[in-house]
Structure formats: structure tokens, C-alpha cells
A and B are shown apart, each in its own frame.
Chain A
Amino acid sequence: MNAYLGIDIGSISTKGVIIDEENHILASSYLWTKGNPIEAVKQLIKELKKQVCTKNLSIIGVGTTGSARKLIGTMLNANIIKNEITAHAVGTLSLYPDVKTIFEIGGQDSKIILIENGIVVDYAMNTLCAAGTGAFLSSQATRLGVPVEEFGKIALTSKNPTKIAARCTVFAESDLVHKAQMGYQKADIIAGLCKSVVANYLNNVGKGKKIKAPIIFQGGVSKNIGVKKAFEEEVGCEVIVDQNGHLMGALGIAILSKKAPIKTNFQFSITEDQFETRGIECNRCSNHCEIICVSKNKKLIDAWGNRCSNGDIMSKQR
């Protein structure tokens, strides 16, 4: 049976799915990237293999998305490498054809995607500031001595959320410390923090956008029920969190790889291969570009990062 592999490699977590011709998820996995996308993907592929080893699958499409999409796409010889905004939209639309708004808060970035009649019409991403993303929440969780997974549940117990400055992470943090020293309850502070994440998101990323229902909320932070509730209070309608919300990017890119005109041939044995990346500084002009070389079993397979043709290592090899 033909199948397609989609991998979404984010800054914090790596997600992967295998789908069949009807977009049914045959296998899925989710693990931490831990700053090493190549190892994470190998691990991910092993996990996926375990789930489908009884079926006789031939994987003829591989798609990669997320911030390490190029590296992993090269490694797996993907037939499609696409940005995460499009991938998330396609994945979500396959399950919720009439969705109009997608909120996404991940480890380091947050996005809003607006959809009309099944096509993306507008999007926004956080710009120079990472306030209110997953990384901020987990660092504040550590500060408060609460596991981040518990955050949502604790937030729900609060009857009187503390107001916390939302505009900037630095101010939010000092405000949070101040409120704790003043004697506010932990649950109230945590609920306030969830509210501040939402306020920050709507004022930054969602600024000036027309938010229409149905709204789907995804990304790692969507697992935090406190943030979901704060969103619902703020926008005044239900915000849907899908159980598989974290897999939407991977699902989307798997579907896109199915639609791509060129097919690829993927073998699970790729986990046996040795992949290496190496950064070298090019000294051929005053730009001093840092070029990333990727090699498979000690053989260079791709390189990028050069601003000019002086640093085009690949074409010099040929």
C-alpha cells in the first residue's frame, strides 16, 4: 500500500505522521527535538516504524516542514519542503474544512492564519519578540516551581486571576515576581499568566485581524487548558482544540507530499545512515558567510548559507 510521511521539526518538538491515500493517520509520533534535529528525526522514524511494521507500506512521498525543514528535507530526500504556515493550514483544513481562523502558539513563535473558503488569505507571525510563547510559559513554570503540564489545571481553579503586564516578557516576568512577593495566590498568578499570554497574542499577532469562528487553537501551548479558556473569554466564542492538534503541521505536509508531482523512495533503514552537519566560514569575500554542509555517510550531499556564488560549494563539487 502506498503511504506518505510528513515530518514537522520545530524548535522544541518534532512531530511525524504516516498517512494513507485517504489521509488517514496510520502512525504518529511526537518527541522533543532537544537541539538536535537529526537525532530527533531518526528517533521519530524508529517510533513510526514500530507502529507500522506489521503493514506492508511503501512510502512514496516525504514532506518536511518547521524550522529545520531544509536540513531534514535534505537528509530524507523529501519530495516537498514547505513552510509551516501552509502546512498547518492544509492539515487543519483536511479535518475541519470550514475552519476560518487558526491560532498557533508554539515553543518560540506564534502565528495566526485566516482562511476563507478553504484557502489561506492572511497570516501573521510574531516579529522581533517571543513574548507569550511556550518557552516563556515553561520558564515561568520553573520559576514558580510548577510543572508546565499542570499549569492549565491550576489556572482553572482560580476565581480571581491576577492582572499581569502582558506587553513584554521582561515586564511580565518582573510583574509576576512582584505579585508573588505581594502575597497573591499561586493559582491566581498562573491564571493571570494564561490571560496575559492571550492578551499578548491578540494584541501582537492578532492585531487588526478579523477573527471569525470556527477557531482552532493548536501548537504546544494549546495543551494548556487555562490558555484555551482565556482565549474563549477574550474572543467570546468556542475555541476548538483538537486532540491531534500538535500533528497538524506534519499531517499537512504529508498531504502536500501526496499531491506533489514528483515522488520519492523512502526506506526506514535511513536511521542506519550517518548524517553530519558542519558549519564552515567562507573567506572568499568580505561577507564571511557561514555555510552549512550536510554529509551522508561522510559524503557531502548539500550545502547552503552562502550569499554569493563564491561560496557555492555544491556546484564546485559537480
Chain B
Amino acid sequence: MNKITIGIPKALLYYKYKDLWINFLEELGCEVIVSPNTNKQILEDGVKFSMDEACLAMKIYLGHIYYLIDKCDYILVPRIKCIKKHEKLCTNFSALYDLVNNVFDKNLIHYNLDVEHKEDELYAFTTMGLTLGFPYRKIVRAYQNAKEKEKFLKERRISKQKSLLASSNKIKILLAGHPYNLYDEFIGKQIEKILEENHIDIIYSDQYDDKYLETEVKEISPKNYWTYNKEIIASIVHYQDVVDGIILMTSFPCGPDSLSNEMIIRNVKIPITNLIIDEGDANTGLLTRIESFIDILEERRKAR
């Protein structure tokens, strides 16, 4: 029997769940195809298939789906409504599956998560595995192994960041934002490139140990119910004493970020700047903003 091939778009929640999804599917014996880094073609395709008002990250996602069509048996599209009780995610994440299904009408594989309706992670993986025709016990084992691997990789990344914080004397900037913004070739990577050219150490907000999330988030925002934004806020609280400044990254026009960013900007104790990225190609404004922000951080260091 040929291996089942599953395509995963390298956008949105890929950056959050890649270790879990890929390891799970490979453990089951599927072949996983990940779409390449966002490029201009993918972005243009995405814009073509999206409505105007969708956020940049969402447009990019549809471009990745378009890339994967006819390159695999199934495309994995999550439908994530709630991952923590009494908390919310952007509605895009719960609409994603149906949206993609409507636009492209191809073979999709779902990953449904809604803990408020008893659909937890194990449930999501079991239904995914059963749809693909694997036996229950094999699925559970694959999930457990993938989970362990994910934990290991996460800890390794966090400790790598910790040692960077301890070892280097260069100016450090916390890049804060959703992982799908931080690591996307067209969003975060162009900022990363400018920072690297200016010899800045970059700390990422998602490389964060969420053990004390609930207490840390309250320092800035006591009553927040956006799960992903809470992670960003807690990470900012966690790192703000050890970095020189914060770059808050948003893809235009993000709903939850527009609320949460205001709260962050008003409450952090160190220099912060908010960069909003849209589908335009000109990065002159971006360059000016980042360069002058670095100048501010350098002057502050000299003055100390």
C-alpha cells in the first residue's frame, strides 16, 4: 500500500503545532509535505482567494493551501475553537476548516479542538487518525510519542534562548507576536533580517516557559481571555527585565491584537514599538522605524 501523503500549509497554526502534527503523522506512517516558505507567488495566490478584509496571515494561509492542492492526498486544516476553558481564540481559527472547504473543495483532514465541548487534544488526534483509517491503539501511542517529542523540542529551544540571554552582551530585542507572524518569510523574517544586519540579538516571545503564565499575564492585563494573546503578554512580562526593547509585531488588520497591543504598549516598562505589516512590498518605512528604534536602545545603553 502506498503511504498516505498529508500536506500541511506552512502558515498560521503550523508554527504552533508543527512538532505535534508532523511527528504524529509520521509515527502513523504517513508522508508529510510542508509547503515552502511564503514567497511572492504564494502571497499573490492567497490575496486572490481571500476577501479584502482578511488579515495578512490569513491571506498567506490560503496561498499555501493553493500551493498544496494536487500535491498530496489530504491537506490538514485545523478547526480550533477553544483550547482553554472560558477563553477565546480569533474566530478565524474556528472558521478556517469550513472556509478552506468552501473556497477549494478538496480533500481536507480535520483537527477539531474545542475543550468547552469535550473535544480535547486526544479527541482531535483520535478523530484525525480514525478518519485516515488507523487503529485506535496505534493512534493513541503515536499521539503520546509526538507529545513527548514536542515537549523535548520546546524545552531545548527555551534553554537555547536562555543561554543566549546569559552569554551575549549585544543589544537584545524581544520580537513579540503570534508565531505565524514571527516566523513567516514575508512578515517576521524581513524584520529579523534587518535586526541581524544591525547585530542585534533576537529573543522570541513564543520561546517561553508558560509555567507562571497566569500570574505573569496579570501584570499587564488582569482580565484577558484571548488565549494566544495571553501567551504573548505573559512572555513580555517574563522577558522585559532582561531585554533592551520590544518590537511588537502585528499583521494587518488583526482584531485581538488591536486590543491587546494597546494594553501592552501602555503598561510595559521598557521601550516598545509596534510594527504593523500589510501586503504592501515597500519596507522603507519598516527600515526607518527599526533603525531609529535601535538608535534609541543604543543611546539608552550609553546613558546608563
Q: Using CB atoms and an 8 Å cutoff, list the residues of chain A in contact with chain B.
A: 67, 82-86, 109, 117, 119-123, 125, 127-128, 208, 285-289, 307
Contact = CB atoms under 8 A, between A and B. Distances in A.
B288 interface: yes
Contact of A83 (B39, B265, B287, B299): B287
A123 B292 contact: yes
Given A119-B299, A125-B289, A288-B41, 11 more contacts: A67-B284, A82-B291, A83-B288, A83-B291, A86-B295, A120-B295, A123-B292, A125-B285, A127-B276, A287-B39, A307-B190
Contacts of B288: 67, 83-85, 125
B252 interface: yes
B218 to A, nearest CB: 22
A199 to B, nearest CB: 20
Contact of B296 (A109, A117, A120): A120
Given A286-B39, A286-B40, A121 B285 contact: no
Contacts of A286: 39-42
B256 interface: no
Nearest to B287: A83
Q: Shortest 10 CB-CB distances between A and B: which pairs?
A: A85-B292, A119-B299, A83-B291, A286-B41, A286-B39, A83-B288, A86-B295, A287-B40, A83-B292, A287-B39
B18 interface: no
Nearest to B295: A86
B51 to A, nearest CB: 18
Contacts of A83: 287-288, 291-292, 295
Nearest to B289: A125
A288 B292 contact: no
B295 A85 contact: yes
Interface in B261-304: 265-266, 271, 276, 278, 284-285, 287-289, 291-293, 295-296, 299-300, 303
A59 B287 CA distance: 28
13 contacts: A67-B284, A84-B288, A85-B292, A86-B291, A119-B300, A120-B299, A122-B296, A125-B289, A208-B265, A286-B40, A286-B41, A286-B42, A289-B40
Contact of A208 (B266, B271, B278, B291): B266
B252 A119 contact: no
Interface of B: 39-42, 190, 252, 265-266, 271, 276, 278, 284-285, 287-289, 291-293, 295-296, 299-300, 303
A67 to B, nearest CB: 6
Contacts of B299: 119-120
A32 B210 CA distance: 55
Contacts of A85: 288, 292, 295
A287 B278 CA distance: 17
A289 B185 CA distance: 14
Given A83-B291, A119-B300, A128-B276, A285 B271 contact: no
A123 B296 contact: yes
B292 A86 contact: yes
A125 B292 CA distance: 11
A121 B284 contact: no
Contacts of B287: 83
Nearest to B282: A67
Contacts of B289: 125
A67 B292 CA distance: 13
A288 B42 CA distance: 12
B39 A128 contact: no
Given A123-B292, A288-B40, A128 B271 contact: no
B93 to A, nearest CB: 25
A221 to B, nearest CB: 19
A121 B296 contact: yes
Contacts of A288: 40-41
Nearest to A123: B292
A299 B141 CA distance: 64
Contacts of B293: 123
Contacts of B284: 67
A208 B190 CA distance: 28
Contacts of A307: 190
A250 to B, nearest CB: 16
**Which has the most chain A C-beta neighbours within 10 Å: B265, B284, B288?**
B288
Contacts of B266: 208
B292 A120 contact: yes
B213 to A, nearest CB: 26
Contacts of A120: 292, 295-296, 299
A163 to B, nearest CB: 27
Contacts of A67: 284, 288
Contacts of A109: 285
A21 to B, nearest CB: 23
Nearest to B38: A287
A84 B287 CA distance: 11
A88 to B, nearest CB: 10
A137 to B, nearest CB: 21
A85 B266 CA distance: 22
A293 to B, nearest CB: 18
B276 A121 contact: no
A117 B284 CA distance: 29
A307 B190 CA distance: 8
B257 to A, nearest CB: 13
